Structure 1
Amino acid sequence: MSHTSDSPRDSPAGRTTRAPGAAVAAPPTSAGRPAGEPRPGTRQAQKQQTRRALLDAGLRLLEHQNLSSLGLRELTREVGVSPAAFYRHFPDMDGLGVALVGEALGSLHEVVRAVLADGADGSAPDALIDRTVAITAAYVDAHRPHVRFIARERHGGVRTVREAIAAELGRFTDEVAAGLAVQPASDGWTAAELHVLAGLHVDHMVATAAELLEAPLGDAAERDRIMRAARLRMRIISVGRLHWLDPD
């Protein structure tokens, strides 16, 4: 009497049988993942690439328009992703703008601290002024799209972006005030007076960056004029600082 076995090796050609329509699990890889499933690190890298592409496309499209006029579909079409993909990275277009603010101004904090450290070490005022203006010009040269975005949106129509810019510039002002406070020339100054002085320096830096941005590319004479005027303004501020506590 014959006996029929249900074991896989007894099926035709040694293959496992299954009911019609039954799902077949993908064979595991050597790392225990189903075949075809992306590695966690790869998935994260792809997500970061998409986020980067959205930010870069935003900067390109904002070269000649305000954030308030940039449409979601225009942006996602530029990147080649769906609008749904955008929302996996940003809550809305305002969120994209806030992220661009962080990129544009966040990296400047270390530069500002380095300049202030030079002042605390007793660097000559004129040398410090020259370095500050040179750093501002170099930053504009290296980050023109970001500087253009800040210059346009600082007083633009998107409130959350205006507030983000104001908050970053406020942080700069606080840092500059703290740096000025440890310099010998600040003896006798109140905290409020130093904060006003720091605000003058920050406003001057932003104004100089905007002027350099508007200068025609390749116009060395205009660039030199802007930088000379910037250094002169800073020297006038410096002279006023030296004599602020003089008797009336």
Structure 2
Amino acid sequence: MSDADPELLSRSERKAVTHRALLNAALELVGEGRSFSGLALREIARRAGMVPNGFYRHFRNTDELGLELVEEMGITLRRLLREARQVNVAHGSMVRRSVKVYQDYVKANRLQFLFISSERSGGSRVLRLAIRNDVTHFTNEMAQDFRTLGLYPELPTPRLQMVCGLIVMTMLAAATDILDLPPGQPMLEDEMAENFVQQLKIILLGARNWHESEDAR
């Protein structure tokens, strides 16, 4: 659980360590090919090195544990990508910087993305809705950042949100490809990153040229 001596930790610190151990245990089981929705709290507790009743001191059920995983990843990823967008660089460089940040984050958090990928399309309805809400939050925050940066000022807010939604969905689809990359293949990784960049540029090019006339409606 931790390199620190449990006897030297305060009660709240020990609880935090155990809490983290349960989250990590669930992710480890998902990484072994298990469906999160098929996990029993007993096996999560066992993997974390505690008795089943200990689970209830932290979570009411496995859905509540899953909700924390969704929220945790969403908050961190949104912060990282927001920082990448705020850097004062040319527009094209901002896209590449964001792709690099995202690609690195997916690789560093493989188990979390395996969890999101599996639960986004199956499993618990509670988690599907939570992931959907997080995607909406992600989309709206990106649209707000675009407004702040003065990007695509001619687009009404609903259209800008639609553009950002396409970007987010492209990112989610790319995560699966990143996870499937064989290790030790830098050329394949660079090729995938470049393809990802071009996909995003196509979306943004379409946004820049999206001028529907009244007659076309």
Q: What's 1:173 paired with?
A: 139
Q: Distance in 1 between matches of 2:10 and 2:149?
A: 49
Shift of 1:199: 0.5
Percentage identity across paired residues of the two chains? 32
Partner amino acid, structure 2, of 1:212: I
TM-score after normalising by structure 1: 0.78
Shift of 1:112: 2.4
Contact 2:81 2:102 in 1 (8 A): no
Partner amino acid, structure 2, of 1:132: S
Contact 2:84 2:101 in 1 (8 A): no
3-state DSSP class of the match of 2:28? Answer: helix
Q: Please show how residues 1-248 of structure 1 align to structure 2 within 5 Å.
A: 42-63=10-31, 64-118=33-87, 123-245=89-211
Q: Distance in 1 between matches of 2:54 and 2:184?
A: 40
Partner amino acid, structure 1, of 2:83: A
Q: What's 1:9 paired with?
A: none
Q: Distance in 2 between matches of 1:184 and 1:43?
A: 49
3-state DSSP class of the match of 1:51? Answer: helix
Query: Judging changes above 3 Å, is the alpha-carbon distance between structure 1 residues 185 and 47 closer, same or farther for their aligned structure 2 residues?
Result: closer
Partner amino acid, structure 2, of 1:179: D
Bigger Cα Rg = 1
Contact 2:120 2:128 in 1 (8 A): yes
3-state DSSP class of the match of 2:121? Answer: coil
* Structure 1 runs, 4 residues or longer, greater than 4 Å off: none
Contact 2:73 2:112 in 1 (8 A): yes
Q: Distance in 1 between matches of 2:191 and 2:85?
A: 25
Contact 1:101 1:164 in 2 (8 A): yes
Shift of 1:96: 1.0
TM-score after normalising by structure 2: 0.88
Aligned pairs, how many? 207
Bigger Cα displacement from structure 2, 180-189 vs 73-82: 180-189
Q: Distance in 1 between matches of 2:207 and 2:180?
A: 30
Q: Distance in 2 between matches of 1:211 and 1:87?
A: 36
Specify every segment of 5 or more residues in structure 2 that has no aligned partner in the other structure, as ranges: 1-6
CA RMSD in angstroms comes to 1.9
Q: Distance in 2 between matches of 1:187 and 1:61?
A: 46
Contact 1:136 1:208 in 2 (8 A): no
Specify every segment of 5 or more residues in structure 1 that has no aligned partner in the other structure, as ranges: 1-37
Bigger fraction of residues in helix: 2
